[in-house]
């Protein structure tokens, strides 16, 4: 009578071990891998099929957006050396102006599709968004990718807390060291937001190109997350074209989807359009 749970648990362990030995997925939040694999096993898939489908969902929702692997240790060394050169001394923490970091951070942000597509309009993107907001004293960045590297372009004082969440543990470690090196008040945490949003209240939440990714894993997850965010303002965005550059009516599709999940909420919404994404400023 107890054999089925043990068999199921054994299969789940084998899925996790299979992904842990791959370069592409070994840093992914175990809770997310377990949730996807458990759902696939519950649907009657074999072990081989479950591993394949779990990898596919992780790829389509996250890994596909990594344009190239960023060597985090080398990136931190480059940034530290740039800080020292800027200060002409060995104290990389007395930074003064952080403009020195912009050129090198642009190179790093090119490693991820979302931040790469935003590179041509970094100044106007954040200026136009923050100009529409009341003073922002705290930020949460959900499924952040490399977006926190854009902080020097945000009109946000260094001492304002910036809380970032993502599924890749190596990236999270990099971001925490980046915050420290740059003298920013910030913390990055590995988190499966499909299970629980482990984030403090904040004045502003970024949810950039994230909801479609969550929907690929679990239908209805986007709406649930959006309503769970404890922030009076949420900046939500959707891609306006596919990774291959095709429009395919994506703006209209996501506009209808977004209208559907906020219907009846009473929230105020303002929209902005950019070449690579459509942005909604949501005031709860």
Q: Is residue 67 in a domain? A: no
How many folded domains does the chain comprise?
Answer: 2
Question: Which pLDDT tens digit goes with each residue over 176-215?
Answer: 999 999 999 999 999 999 888 889 999 999 999 999 999 9
pLDDT of residue 1: 34
Tell me whether residue 228 is in a domain.
yes
pLDDT tens-digit series, residues 71-115 = 999 999 999 998 888 775 444 444 446 888 999 999 999 999 999
* In a shared domain, residues 56 and 81: no
Domain range for 16 is 3-61
In a shared domain, residues 86 and 37: no
| Residue 36 and residue 56 in one domain | yes
- pLDDT, residue 11, reads 87
Given 61, 84, 103, which residue is the final one in a domain?
A: 61
Clarify whether residues 109 and 162 are in a common domain. yes
Considering the domain architecture, whether residues 134 and 239 belong to the same structural domain is answered as yes
H-helix or E-strand spanning residue 68:
none
- Model pLDDT for residues 5-58, shown as the tens digit of each residue: 446 678 889 988 898 888 888 899 999 999 999 999 998 999 999 999 999 999
Q: Residue 196 and residue 198: Cα distance in Å, rounded? A: 6
The model's pTM: 0.89
Instruction: Decide: residue 144, CB within 10 A, 0-12 exposed, 13-18 middle, 19+ buried.
Output: buried
Query: Is 106 contained in some domain?
Result: yes
Domain of residue 186, CATH code: 3.40.50.150
């Amino acid at each position: 009578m107890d054999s089925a749970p043990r068999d199921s648990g054994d299969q789940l362990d084998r899925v996790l071990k299979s992904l842990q030995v791959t370069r592409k997925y070994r840093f992914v939040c175990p809770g997310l891998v377990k949730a996807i694999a458990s759902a696939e096993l519950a649907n009657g898939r074999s072990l081989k099929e479950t591993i394949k489908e779990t990898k596919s969902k992780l790829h389509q929702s996250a890994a596909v957006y990594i344009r190239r692997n960023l060597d985090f240790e080398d990136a931190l060394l480059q940034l530290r050396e740039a800080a020292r050169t800027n200060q002409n001394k060995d104290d990389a923490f007395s930074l003064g102006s952080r403009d020195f970091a912009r050129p090198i951070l642009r190179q790093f942000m090119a490693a991820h599709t979302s931040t790469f597509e935003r590179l041509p309009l970094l100044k106007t993107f954040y200026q136009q968004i923050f100009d529409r907001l009341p003073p922002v004293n705290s930020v949460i960045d959900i499924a952040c990718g490399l977006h926190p590297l854009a902080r020097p372009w945000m009109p946000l004082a260094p001492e304002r807390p910036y809380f970032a969440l993502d599924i890749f543990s190596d990236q999270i470690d990099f971001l925490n060291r980046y915050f420290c090196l740059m003298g920013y008040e910030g913390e990055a945490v590995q988190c499966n937001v499909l299970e629980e949003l482990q984030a403090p209240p904040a004045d502003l939440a970024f949810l950039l190109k994230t909801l479609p990714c969550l929907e690929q894993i679990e239908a209805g997850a986007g709406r649930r997350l959006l309503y769970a965010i404890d922030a009076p303002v949420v900046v939500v965005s959707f891609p306006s074209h596919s990774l291959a550059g095709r429009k395919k009516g994506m703006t209209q599709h996501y506009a209808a989807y977004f209208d559907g999940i906020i219907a009846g909420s009473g929230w105020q919404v303002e929209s902005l359009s950019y070449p690579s994404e459509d942005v909604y400023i949501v005031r709860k």
